[in-house]
Structure 1
Amino acid sequence: MSELTPLVVNVIGVFTLALVARFLVRNRDRLAFASVLVSLGVLVSALGLSFDLELTSDLILTVFLPTIIFQGTTTLDARRLWRNAGLITVLTVLGLPLAIVLLGAVGTVAFGFPLLVALLFAGVILPTDPAAVLSIFEELDVSERLAITIEGESLLNDGVAVVIFSTLLAAFGSTGSVAALATPRGLAALAGDVAVVGGGGLLLGAAVGYAAHAVMRRLEDEMSILLLTVIVAYGGFLLAEHYLGLSGILAVVGAGLLMGAHEETHHKMSTSEYHVQELWTTAGFLVTTVLYVLIGAEVQLGAFVRHADLVVAAAVLVVLARAATIYPLVSATNVLGDRPVPLYCQHVMVWGGLHTVVPVALVLSLPTQFPFREELQVMVFGVAVVSIVAQGLLMPAVLSRLGMGDAA
């Protein structure tokens, strides 16, 4: 028997479970596919079974995430994204750091963690998941402006959160405290890191994507276009992340936006480009399918029960921290802008913040000697499952209550 045979068997097992999930959600508008996938993964764990597929930080960040982000950004309507860029930027640049500080401060009391550990947990858990948000919103036919705002915020805050996480982790390795970061010089250095690492990655990706778009318009066969898109998505990520010290996630965001942002690629897409886009959609579906099943299957129910108080407290506080930033910041932008976001949409923005893929990847990357590592991993996996299952399954009811989506 080949050494690859067990791997193939386990992958087929994951896809078989996904097929069961498709049957379960068929003709059931109030069941989100992503929520059912994670639930089935938890069931696998509860039965003491395993897929023998190790979920690692490198696998998520280097292999899975570029596919998810590139596929999502190339299908975005860049003009609509640009019209909402002000709100998205405010929520990312101001909202995310503010939420991290709030949850970190409260976490010292609620979780009993030292401030640095509580802040690091906040930095890990608060990035929202574009794949989960998209999959649920597409099924429920949410208004396009709301969907593109939440998706745009999710795509950007993932990259910013990774920079903040790296800074906090470096502070732990050097001093073991956040004292240096709490000074004006420390805050300026953190802001500089976000601007250089995050903004630099976004600009690099945009340059790569724009150049690739120009090349793509001269290609006719779909295999060449497919190869070009793979090189842009993964090459841009690796160039930024591993060679230039910039944000690989934001590089993929920039590349995807500029490669697919022009009017002709959305409204006059060639047959070859259309087929390649369909291939990326399929790849994104397969990747998220594997991810959600494995996240559920990785939940250790014994540890989950032991730390149930921490998981429940974390799940509640994450939603409250998001609410504490969404409502005031969106209200402030409503005063300054000419296209206010209604209050009922703000409710959906709070409830639609799902925390799965990037938080799981970040917590898995913590060094083994990091204090409270077991508790942090249990809390992150717990919040991931609670957010995508509970919030995802309740999303139709929330939208129906607010008179939105096809659930209304």
Structure 2
Amino acid sequence: MRIWANINPDLLLAAFLPALLFESAFSMEAHQIKKCMAQMLLLAGPGVLMSTFLLGTALKLTSPYDWNWETSLLLGGLLSATDPVAMVAVLKELGTSKKLSTIIEGESLMNDGVSVVVYQLFLQMVLGRSFNTGSILMFLSEVSLGAVALGLAFAIISLLWLGFTFNDTILEMTLTLAVSYIAFYTVQDALKYSGILTVTALGMFYAAFAKTTFKGDNRRSLHDFWK
């Protein structure tokens, strides 16, 4: 117990977060993703921005620390994030409908990714970088849409690679695990985009095309591996 109490929390995050994000996105049903995507995007996009500004305003007006608007909104963005792993566990225990479960689970995953993007924006402001309306929109679009595009790119490339594996179950499991970590840290650390959005897009793309890419027992084995 003493070993776990003293472990570096950043190490735990680095070791488990990409796999947990991919598992949550990959376990979603493809037809439910398509049906619920509009609601998920509405809640995770405008919903997070609204939450950030409401929380930031409340902090600005009530905080005893005389924070400026940038600092208040920075903390508001952090507090807008939800815990997708805990949310998924609660939904499974409650036995909610597939549609509601998909909306909340997908929104929870995207919510964290958008919160990271909003945090990066206000952190730049706190550090002294100036923005106008156009540059704010450009920054948000580049960091969020760039992360999603890279997630789709990693998914397409890895699925094409899997097409040459001749139904090797072990290789398929290894590659899906590896690509979730490679995609996350390439985007998060090297490019400074949202690794959460990247892995979420990666997992959802896999969920949508799993039936055509993975056949029979291989598909069942892969889903069992990620449960």
Range of TM-score over shorter length: 0.7 to 0.9
- Deviation of 1:64 (Å): 2.1
Shift of residue 129 of structure 1? Answer: 1.6
Following superposition, which runs of at least 4 residues in structure 1 exceed 4 angstroms of deviation? Answer: none
Aligned mate of 2:89, from 108, 113, 135: 135
CA distance in 2, matches of 1:132, 1:218: 36
Q: What is the root-mean-square deviation in Å for CA atoms of aligned residues? A: 2.3
Aligned to 2:70: 116
C-alpha distance in 1 between matches for 2:17 and 2:144 = 16
Measured in 2, the distance between the counterparts of 1:68 and 1:138 equals 15
CA shift in 2, pair 1:198/1:53, >3 Å: same
CA contact (8 A) 2:210 2:219 kept: no
Q: Residues 140-219 of structure 1: matches in 2 within 5 Å?
A: 140-174=94-128, 180-181=130-131, 185=132, 187-219=133-165
Hey, what's the Cα distance between the residues in 2 that align with 1:273 and 1:231?
17
Q: Tell me which residue corresponds to 1:323.
A: none
Q: Is the 8 A contact 1:105 1:119 kept in 2?
A: yes
Aligned sequence identity (%): 25
Letter in 2 for 1:210: I
Normalised by the size of structure 2, how large is the TM-score?
0.88
Q: 2:55 aligns with which of 89, 92, 103?
A: 103
Residues 117 and 193 in structure 2, CA contact (< 8 A), matched pair in contact too? no
Distance 1:201 1:98, change over 3 A: same
Give the letter aligned to residue 261 of structure 1.
A
Structure 2 SS opposite 1:112: coil
The answer to whether the 8 Å contact 1:209/1:257 transfers is no
Gaps of 5+ in 1: 1-5, 12-50, 282-408
- Determine the C-alpha separation between the residues in 2 that align with 1:172 and 1:86: 33
Which stretches in structure 2 are left out of the alignment for 5+ residues?
none
Q: Does 1:10 align with 2:10?
A: no
Question: Which of 52, 76, 82 is residue 28 of structure 2 equivalent to?
Answer: 76
1:260 aligned to 2:207? yes
Residue 242 in structure 1 maps to residue 189 in structure 2: yes
Confirm or deny that 1:279 pairs with 2:190: no
Counterpart residue type for residue 180 of structure 2: A
- 1:263-342 to structure 2, matched below 5 A, reads 264=211, 269-281=215-227
Q: Deviations over 1:8-53 (max 9, x none)?
A: x735xxxxxxxxxxxxxxxxxxxxxxxxxxxxxxxxxxxxxxx222
**Pair member with larger Rg:** 1
Q: Deviations over 1:47-91 (max 9, x none)?
A: xxxx222213x642x332211110111111122112122222122
> How many pairs does the alignment contain?
224
CA distance in 2, matches of 1:191, 1:92: 16
Cα distance in 2 for partners of 1:195, 1:79 equals: 27
How far, CA to CA, are the matches of 2:193 and 2:61 in structure 1?
34
